[in-house]
A = this chain, B = another copy of it.
Amino acid sequence: MKGENPNPSPRSGAAAELLCGVNAKALLDSVDAFLFDCDGVIWKGDKLIDGVSQTLDLLRSKGKKLVFVTNNSTKSRAQYANKFRSLGLSVTQDEIFSSSFAAAMYLKVNHFPPNKKAYVIGGEGILQELQLAGFTALGGPEDGEKRVQLKSSCFFEHDKNVGAVVVGLDPDINYYKLQYGTLCIRENPGCLFIATNCDSVGHMTDLQEWPGAGCMVGAICGSTGREPIVVGKPSTFMMEFLLQKFHMSPSRMCMVGDRLDTDILFGQNAGCKTLLVLSGVTTESILGDSSNSIQPDYYTSKVSDILKLLGE
């Protein structure tokens, strides 16, 4: 993967410290920006996690830059800004880095030819970001109800001008889309296979986990024998944009997330400080298990602990 830091955070490997009054104050003093994952950190499904709004307000009042870095590709940045608004949070589109946006930016920086098209297995957010970046995208939700009949002499046509298949979370996954993406990758010379992310599961609803983009990406790996280019966390592809935009040193940033293998690894790969919150998929026993090799700098139960620990 592109852009990984050859010098990971010196703390990686050492056991995580529980966040307390003293180290929370030191952390706040040592960084200028907080990068937040969203699902399991800011919200679960459509429910805001307790105390998030006040915590973000406090951090902004202390002059900290806030950035939201999400692997969930189903929404575009504009749709995410709406979601933040609907939950009572004031976040602008410029503060949001989604893996749908990252997929479009990957094509842009790699000079994807304007006469080529992208086929999407995933949500409306990927299509919107691709189109905003000036690309022709097909597939996505409009192929959700399409069915195929495996009958003799049935021939499945695909567009020979598709030069990239972009795969993200797709709750409307079907055999039609799988065949379309598979044919493009196997038969169109040079066709790229881009994964927004490879999360195995995620809190698509507040009550439980559901298969994530890793499921759809795994399906296309299985039918093509190819490995994807991953643009979401833990790949640091998005970090390059972030750094260009905000002119900040990664060592003055803290990545806050609920997943060890995406958020914390992403922060460490980029050279940021890292804070794990236990309000999402990772439990304290997973963190402490001998099979886990990813240790954040700090951990705490939820984002709003910062408020409490700083006595605000």
Contacts and interface: CB of A to CB of B under 8 A. Distances in A.
A7 interface: no
A218 interface: yes
B211 A179 contact: yes
A208 interface: yes
Given A174-B174, A218-B218, A224 B200 contact: yes
Nearest to A176: B171
Contacts of A148: 171
B173 A173 contact: yes
Contacts of A215: 178, 182, 219-220, 222-223
Contacts of A210: 150, 156, 175, 179, 182
Contacts of A154: 205, 207
Interface in A198-226: 198, 200-201, 204-212, 214-225
A208 B155 contact: yes
A5 B252 CA distance: 57
A62 interface: no
Contacts of A204: 150
A47 interface: yes
Contact of A211 (B175, B207, B209): B175
A108 B178 CA distance: 33
